Structure formats: structure tokens, C-alpha cells
């Protein structure tokens, strides 16, 4: 009976993904055509926009009710052609429809912003974002609902804006995710200084930690001193997060890009403290982005004798760079100067590279390392990954990405035959965002 139930769920999931893929293909062509020719409003049209209910289409479908209500309809789809590690004798490549998200966002009464977004490819449609933001004072805004916690530049970047197909390992494994909470945020000095602070129910949908307090501060410090223009876009940031760990919580386990575990799960109890620093710089067609995150989990009374154990440590960093070789400005987002197949246009082409390191261990090392959930000395394991990628922006809606990834796993506790394993992977993605 259980096998039948699992099979039925798999069939339903496959059917939903087929429907989402069909929607993807149906939307792909007309929106690509619309991208070729977007007419400007006439003077009479602008006057008409001031009153009544109307439907508009500029970058995306939108419903307007006078000046009071704006409803923008969003759709985000992407599918991956995956190549498994090249050492695999089968060298299998397959297509997986990974995301199908639809939603609405906009504002009403001028000072209220909102967003609702649902994921369609899960077993059951799942609400991803659902929040309301009051922006009456630009330097003191209040946001409430379910949304990403303000921690980690890579984690806070929407998937369709990432320079690479996958997030960094620290963005996926250490940074907190979406949860229900309330946040106060604002900006000063013409966006030169930004702050975010909030309290959330937990640290994310897949995180077992309890109430979480988060704070993040970012800014453009070189605006304040005489520096060359190309340096003033350097943005620096710092973030901290503190979470309660209930009795019996299991610490996160490190995974490779394709989900193979490389670290030992351990019992934790007490507090989880995260701290991160970040930087981003963009000038002309070039950009550099980097981040470091340190996480520390308490292990009170978690030994076999109910004694305190050394804290569990997870830390990592990445550094990435991009170059739009067709000359588009990165700081404004890559928008092709000449869209694909429009007046002989090719679109925009960008190359990117990233190196990263993620490590798990214990804060102290009493005795030999043991692969056990209550071991005093957690075996040190790490994953080093290098990614090379290319991004082809056909138009404002469609992007094709290709990545080659080399991972080196060290201190592999789950496979005693080797203490180092190297994985080569390749993957391509077709993405549509409206």
C-alpha cells in the first residue's frame, strides 16, 4: 500500500510538471514576440491611465485600478539539462523541469506593497512568498508575512538573477531561508546606507531551529571619500543571526552541488549564531562578489553522559566574477542592447567564474575524530568547488545558462575507501521570467 501511495504521488508530480512545462512553452513564444516591440503610450493614453480599470503590458501583464491599485502578474519557469559526474560510466544526461512559480506583486493606496508567489512543481502547490510592506517612511518601513530573512547576499538574490545556475554552498547550506516574521528596514543617504532587522518564527522551512533574530547592514562607504568613480559602487555589508535550538535538533549536513552528503549529522542544543560579511562591486560590464559566513551551534548536554560538547562549526566563503563581453552594464542588470532575432541582434553574452569553500568541524578537538552524532570531536570535512559559466540573454524574458563544476570533497566520513573525492559536473538551464 505504501509503495502504491508513493507511486501515485510520483505520477501526480509528473503530471503537474508536464502541465507547468506546457505553460512554459505556451508563454515562451508570445512573450518573446512581445519583447520585440513594446510601443510607447500616447498623450491620450497617459491621460486614460489616470482613471478606471485597465490592463497594460509593458515588461509583464499588469492590472491597474486608477492610481490606487497595481497588480503585476509574474511567472518564473526553468528546466535543467543535467550532466552527472563525468567519471560516471553511464554519462547520463537528463532534463528536469525544476521550477514553475506564478504570483502577483504590486501596491495599493500608494504606500502598501505586497507579493504572493506559489511553487507549482512540489507535491502540493506551496506558498513561497506572502508579505505586506508599509513604506510610508522610506527610512522606516515595516514588512510582515513570509519572506527571505535578511542574511546572505547570495541567498537573498532571486534565483533568476543569479550569475550561476546554483547558489553558493554557503548560501544553500548555512544562510537562513524563508520564514514567517516581521522586519523593519530602510535606507539613508540616497541608498548609501541600508539596514534590515527582524524576528522570525524559525530559520527557514527546512531548518529545525526556533525563533530567530536577524540584522543586516550594507552600504557604499567609498561615496564618502574622494575616490575614482569606478570604485564608488563597492558595497560592503555585515549580518548576524541568532536562533534557538530546541532539544533534539540535528545540525545541518553539508552536501555537494548535486546533493551528496559529505559531513556527519550531529546532535545540537542551545543557540545557533551566524555571522557574515559580504561585498559586491560592479563597473561597466564587470562585477565581483564575495561573502564569508561562520555558523556556530551549541551542544549543551549532548554527550552520552549528558555533558556539554564542543560547539559544531560550519564556515565557508566564495568569490565570483563576471564579464558581459557584449558590453552591457552589470550594475543595471543585463538587458541586451539588441535582442535575439530583432534587427539581426544576438542578445547579451556574459562569462562568469566562482571559487568557494565550505567546511564542517567542531570548535575544539578532544580525542580522535569519530563519525557519531554525539562525538566530542566532529570529523573535519570540506567541499571546494570551482564553477565556470556562460549566460546568454536572448531578451528580457529568456536566458540560457551553462555551467561546468569541479568539486573536491576532503575528509569523506561516509566512504572509508577514500579521504578525497573529485566530481566533475555539467549542467545547462533554460529560463523564462516574466
- Tell me, yes or no, whether 116 lies in a domain: no
Helix, strand, or coil (residue 146) = strand
Q: What whole-number distance in Å separates Cα of residue 310 and Cα of residue 250? A: 15
- Tell me, yes or no, whether 131 lies in a domain: no
* Cβ partners under 8 Å of residue 124, min gap 6: none
pLDDT band for position 36 (cuts 50, 70, 90): very low
- Tell me, yes or no, whether 232 lies in a domain: yes
Give the pLDDT confidence score for residue 59 in this predicted structure. 78
The model's pTM: 0.84
Pairing state of beta strands 140-148 and 126-137? Answer: antiparallel
pLDDT band for position 38 (cuts 50, 70, 90): very low
Say if residues 268 and 299 touch (Cβ distance below 8 Å): yes
121-149 burial, b for 16+ CB within 10 Å, e for fewer? beeeeeebbbbebebeeeeebbbebbbbb
Query: Residue 251: which domain range?
Result: 166-434
pLDDT band for position 40 (cuts 50, 70, 90): very low
pLDDT surpasses 90 at 263: no
Number of domains in the chain: 1
Q: Within its chain, how far is the Cα of 218 from the centroid?
A: 18
- Tell me, yes or no, whether 408 lies in a domain: yes
Pull the grid cell for residue 43: 498623450
CA angle, residues 155, 157, 159, in degrees to nearest 5: 95
Say if residues 352 and 334 touch (Cβ distance below 8 Å): no
Residue that the C-alpha cell 508563454 belongs to: 27
Q: What whole-number distance in Å separates Cα of residue 39 and Cα of residue 45? A: 11
Say if residues 297 and 270 touch (Cβ distance below 8 Å): yes
The strand pairing partners of 389, in sequence order, are 352, 403
The strand pairing partners of 296, in sequence order, are 273, 313
Give the pLDDT confidence score for residue 147 in this predicted structure. 95
Compute the average pLDDT of residues 56-72: 88
- Tell me, yes or no, whether 268 lies in a domain: yes
Compute the average pLDDT of residues 296-303: 87
pLDDT, tens digit, 9 for 90 and up, residues 347-406: 999 999 999 999 999 888 888 888 888 888 888 899 999 999 999 999 989 999 999 999
Comparison of pLDDT for 60 and 7, the residue scoring more: 60
pLDDT, tens digit, 9 for 90 and up, residues 168-184: 999 999 999 999 999 99
Query: What's phi and psi for 36, nearest 5 deg?
Result: -75, -25
Q: Alpha helices of 165-211 — where are they, by DSSP H?
A: 169-173
Structural element, H or E, at residue 14: helix 2-36
Q: Which segment, 26-40, 142-156, 261-275, 414-428, is predicted with the most confidence on average?
A: 142-156
Please choose, from the candidates 221, 220, 170, the residue with its C-alpha nearest in 3D space to the C-alpha of residue 356. 170
Q: What CATH number did the domain enclosing 324 receive?
A: 2.40.160
pLDDT, tens digit, 9 for 90 and up, residues 141-199: 999 999 999 999 999 999 889 999 999 999 999 999 999 999 999 998 887 899 999 99
Give the pLDDT confidence score for residue 84 in this predicted structure. 55
Give the pLDDT confidence score for residue 375 in this predicted structure. 83
Say if residues 115 and 131 touch (Cβ distance below 8 Å): yes
- Tell me, yes or no, whether 27 lies in a domain: no
Share of the chain above pLDDT 90, in %: 46
- Tell me, yes or no, whether 245 lies in a domain: yes
Mean pLDDT of the chain: 83
Give the pLDDT confidence score for residue 225 in this predicted structure. 84
Compute the average pLDDT of residues 419-425: 79
Structural element, H or E, at residue 11: helix 2-36
Q: What whole-number distance in Å separates Cα of residue 351 and Cα of residue 396? A: 18
pLDDT band for position 35 (cuts 50, 70, 90): very low
- Tell me, yes or no, whether 114 lies in a domain: no
18-24 contacts at long range (C-beta below 8 A, 24 or more positions apart): 19/120, 20/77, 20/97, 20/100, 20/120, 20/121, 21/77, 21/79, 21/97, 21/100, 23/75, 23/77, 23/100, 24/77, 24/79, 24/97, 24/100, 24/432
Amino acid at each position: 500500500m505504501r509503495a502504491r501511495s508513493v507511486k501515485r504521488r510520483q505520477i501526480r508530480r509528473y503530471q503537474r510538471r508536464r502541465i507547468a512545462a506546457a505553460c512554459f512553452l505556451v508563454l515562451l513564444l508570445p512573450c518573446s514576440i512581445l519583447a520585440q516591440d513594446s510601443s510607447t503610450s500616447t498623450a491620450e493614453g497617459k491621460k486614460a491611465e489616470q482613471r478606471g480599470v485597465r490592463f497594460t503590458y509593458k515588461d509583464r501583464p499588469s492590472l491597474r485600478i486608477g492610481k490606487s491599485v497595481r497588480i503585476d502578474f509574474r511567472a518564473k519557469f526553468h528546466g535543467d539539462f543535467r550532466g552527472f559526474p563525468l567519471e560516471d560510466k553511464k554519462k547520463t544526461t537528463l532534463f528536469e523541469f525544476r521550477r514553475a512559480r506564478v504570483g502577483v506583486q504590486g501596491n495599493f493606496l500608494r504606500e502598501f506593497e505586497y507579493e504572493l508567489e506559489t511553487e507549482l512543481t512540489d507535491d502540493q502547490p506551496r506558498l513561497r512568498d506572502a508579505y505586506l510592506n508599509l513604506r510610508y517612511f522610506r527610512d522606516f518601513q515595516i514588512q510582515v508575512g513570509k519572506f527571505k530573512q535578511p542574511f546572505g547576499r547570495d541567498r537573498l538574490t532571486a534565483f533568476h538573477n543569479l550569475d550561476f545556475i546554483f547558489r553558493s554552498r554557503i548560501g544553500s547550506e548555512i544562510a537562513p531561508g524563508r520564514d514567517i516574521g516581521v522586519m523593519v528596514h530602510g535606507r539613508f543617504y540616497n541608498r548609501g546606507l541600508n539596514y534590515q532587522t527582524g524576528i522570525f518564527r524559525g530559520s527557514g522551512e527546512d531548518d529545525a531551529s526556533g525563533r530567530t533574530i536577524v540584522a543586516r547592514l550594507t552600504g557604499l562607504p567609498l561615496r564618502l571619500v574622494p575616490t575614482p568613480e569606478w570604485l564608488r559602487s563597492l558595497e560592503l555589508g555585515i549580518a548576524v543571526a541568532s536562533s534557538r535550538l530546541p532539544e533534539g535538533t540535528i545540525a545541518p549536513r553539508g552536501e555537494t552541488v548535486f546533493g551528496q552528503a559529505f559531513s556527519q549529522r550531529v546532535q545540537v542544543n542551545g543557540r545557533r549564531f551566524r555571522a557574515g560579511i559580504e561585498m559586491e562591486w560592479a563597473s561597466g560590464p564587470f562585477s565581483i562578489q564575495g561573502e564569508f559566513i561562520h555558523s556556530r551551534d551549541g551542544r549543551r548536554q549532548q554527550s552520552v553522559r549528558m555533558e556539554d560538547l564542543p560547539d559544531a562549526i560550519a564556515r565557508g566563503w566564495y568569490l565570483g566574477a563576471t564579464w558581459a563581453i557584449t558590453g552591457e552594464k552589470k550594475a543595471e542588470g543585463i538587458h541586451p542592447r539588441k535582442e535575439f532575432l530583432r534587427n539581426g541582434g544576438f542578445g547579451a553574452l556574459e562569462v562568469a567564474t566562482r571559487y568557494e569553500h565550505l567546511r564542517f568541524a567542531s570548535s575544539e578537538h578532544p580525542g580522535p575524530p569519530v563519525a557519531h552524532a554525539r562525538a566530542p570531536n566532529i570529523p573535519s570535512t570540506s567541499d571546494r568547488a570551482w564553477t565556470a559559466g556562460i549566460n546568454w540573454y536572448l531578451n528580457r524574458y529568456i536566458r540560457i545558462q551553462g555551467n561546468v563544476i569541479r568539486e573536491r570533497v576532503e575528509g569523506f566520513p561516509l566512504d572509508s575507501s577514500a579521504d578525497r573525492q573529485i566530481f566533475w559536473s555539467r549542467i545547462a538551464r533554460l529560463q523564462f521570467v516574466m
